């Protein structure tokens, strides 16, 4: 029986996946390369260091340790500039309503995000208090597709993996949920994500429906 919902943040609750994409694209161009929307699917859900490793690999640029560090900081600064004006209206369709319904039904809620900026984004959306646990890029050693972020989320809520349902928009995140032994709802294309159930946005479903389905 499902007792807790574990949410990814970027691309599930809020439309920030596009900001990560734009900022990484700038990094890529700075290194003399570029990447496609399809390649971007491989970056979704991937933490900052591992994302930059992929971009360096794709561009075939020579990057020493100091430059690697500087590029991470530069990307984050570009990302912070893009999210500086973020507010509740930037939440994805139906997401905040869905979270409030979940909360009022007594279903436990945790965040399972790769982003070190997640607490700040939740604050801007005004939804921090809905979360019983917040696990983000600052609290894990292993990035998605490793299951650590979701296992820690379940543990913080006092739940077993089989009692949790994960909401994800990334290939890496769905893999992480599977490796954690959790069911998953994919936000995006079924063919790409391979989750147990798919919607274009969380607002297309309800907590009640999901509790009966899983």
Residues classed as catalytic: 8, 10
149, interface contact from ligand BG6, Mg ion, none, CB < 5-8 Å by kind: none
Q: Binding residue for Mg ion (CB under 5 A) from 4, 6, 7, 8?
A: 8
Q: Which is nearer to ligand BG6, 34 or 208 (CB)?
A: 34
113, interface contact from Mg ion, ligand BG6, none, CB < 5-8 Å by kind: ligand BG6
Q: Binding residue for Mg ion (CB under 5 A) from 2, 5, 7, 11?
A: 11
Q: How far apart are CA 24 and CA 74, in angstroms?
A: 10
- Alpha carbon separation from 25 to 47, 49, 50, 69, 163 (Å, rounded): 15, 15, 15, 17, 38
Angle ∠(77,81,83) on CA atoms, nearest 5: 115
The nearest distance, CB 82 to ligand BG6, in angstroms, is 11
Q: What DSSP string describes 33-90?
A: ----HHHHHHHTT--HHHHHHHHHHHHT----HHHHHHHHHHHHHHHHHHHTT--GGG
Q: How far apart are CA 51 and CA 115, in angstroms?
A: 12
Residue 196 found at the interface with Mg ion (CB under 5 A): no
148, interface contact from ligand BG6, Mg ion, none, CB < 5-8 Å by kind: none
Binding interface with ligand BG6 (CB under 6 A): 9-10, 17, 20, 43-48, 51, 76, 113-117, 137, 170
Site for Mg ion in 157-176 (CB under 5 A): 169-170
Q: How far apart are CA 139 and CA 115, in angstroms?
A: 10
The nearest distance, CB 69 to Mg ion, in angstroms, is 24
Candidate ranges 8-16, 32-40, 55-63, 116-124; the one touching Mg ion (CB under 5 A):
8-16
Measured on CA atoms in the order 99, 107, 137, 49, is the torsion positive or negative?
A: negative
């Amino acid at each position: 029986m499902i007792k807790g919902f574990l949410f990814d943040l970027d691309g599930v609750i809020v439309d920030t996946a596009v900001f990560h994409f734009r900022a990484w694209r700038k990094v890529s161009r700075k290194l003399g390369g570029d990447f496609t929307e399809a390649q971007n699917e491989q970056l979704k859900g991937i933490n900052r260091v591992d994302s930059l490793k992929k971009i360096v690999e794709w561009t075939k640029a020579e990057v020493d340790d100091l430059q690697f560090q500087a590029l991470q900081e530069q990307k984050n600064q570009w990302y912070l500039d893009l999210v500086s004006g973020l507010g509740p209206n930037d939440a994805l369709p139906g997401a905040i309503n869905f979270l409030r319904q979940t909360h009022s039904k007594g279903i436990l809620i945790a965040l399972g995000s790769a982003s070190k900026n997640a607490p700040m984004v939740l604050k801007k959306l005004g939804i921090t208090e809905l979360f019983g646990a917040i696990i983000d890029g600052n609290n894990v050693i292993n990035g998605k597709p490793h299951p650590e972020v979701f296992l820690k989320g379940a543990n913080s809520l006092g739940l077993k993996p089989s009692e949790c349902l994960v909401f994800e928009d990334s290939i890496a995140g769905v893999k992480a949920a599977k490796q954690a032994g959790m069911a998953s709802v994919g936000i995006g294309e079924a063919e790409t994500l391979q989750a147990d159930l798919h919607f274009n946005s969380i607002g297309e479903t309800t907590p009640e429906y999901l509790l009966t389905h899983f």
